[in-house]
Structure 1
């Protein structure tokens, strides 16, 4: 797997201060994608052991809330296979830090059912994801006032509550920000 970039101390891609890993490779090609350069699976640099260790070290400070996975598309089968051992390490070392994952796939249609976001490691990978932001970016539904997503069709799913309930449970934003309008 290659990665496009890593953002340390990122506050735009999940709750709190995070390390964000932007993986390379995406077959979705959404119009007006904010990171179209990362559609190419060969873009960027290899996700080596040294890179993994650097990210793991970046998660150590108490002020870092967790890891965000973006793309490209983290749920391309090739990326899932490479990310699984990494997110297992993140959760083993930092069980109280959250992992957010952004995907253009729709949870019920493309991830739970056979489709582009599903492979032999999907179910195991999902066990380590705390929050899933799903759905294609849709330019006609673009809304800059939304937190942690680009268009209103995209959902922020609380995966821990979803697993417990057996149906999709939306993530609840901090009440301070829930009614925030820009």
Structure 2
């Protein structure tokens, strides 16, 4: 697997301060994608053990809330297979840090059911994801006021509560951000 970039101390792609890994490879090709250069699976640099270690070390400070996986598309089967051992290691070595994952896939129709976001490791992969932002970017539903997503069709799903409830439970933002009137 290749990755397009890594952002350290990122505050745009999940709650708090995070390290964000942008993987390469996406077959969806959403119009006006913010990271179309990462559609190519060969774009960027190889995701080596040294890169993995650097990311894990970046998660150590107490002010870092966790890791965000973006793309490209983390739920391309090739990327899931490559990321699964890494996110297992992140959870083992960085307890208390959350993992957010962004996908253009719809959880119910393309990830839980046979679809473009499902492969033999998907169920295990999802066990390590705390928050899943699902749905493709839709330009007609673009809304700059939304936190952690680009268009209003995209959902922020609390995967821990979803697993416990057996149904989709949306992530609840801090109420101070709910009305945009701080």
Using the TM superposition, give the Cα deviation of residue 130 of structure 1 relative to its aligned residue in structure 2, in angstroms. 0.1
Separation in structure 2 between the aligned mates of residue 59 and residue 122 of structure 1, nearest angstrom? 24
3-state SS of 1:67 partner: strand
Separation in 2, partners of 1:130, 1:6 = 20
Question: Post-superposition, which runs of at least 4 consecutive aligned residues in structure 1 deviate over 4 A?
Answer: none
Which sections of structure 2, spanning at least 5 residues, go unmatched?
Answer: none
Q: Which residue of 2 aligns with 1:117?
A: 117
Matches within 5 A, 1:33-182: 33-180=33-180
TM-score (normalizing by structure 2): 0.99
- Return 5+ residue gaps in structure 1 as ranges: none
**1:120-151 Cα deviation digits (max 9, x unpaired):** 00000000000000000000000000000000
The aligned counterpart of 2:4 is 4
Q: CA RMSD in A?
A: 0.9
Give the paired residue count: 182
Q: Per the alignment, in what secondary structure is the counterpart of residue 73 of structure 1?
A: coil
Aligned partners of 1:10 and 1:49: how far apart in 2? 22
Q: CA deviation at 1:178?
A: 1.5
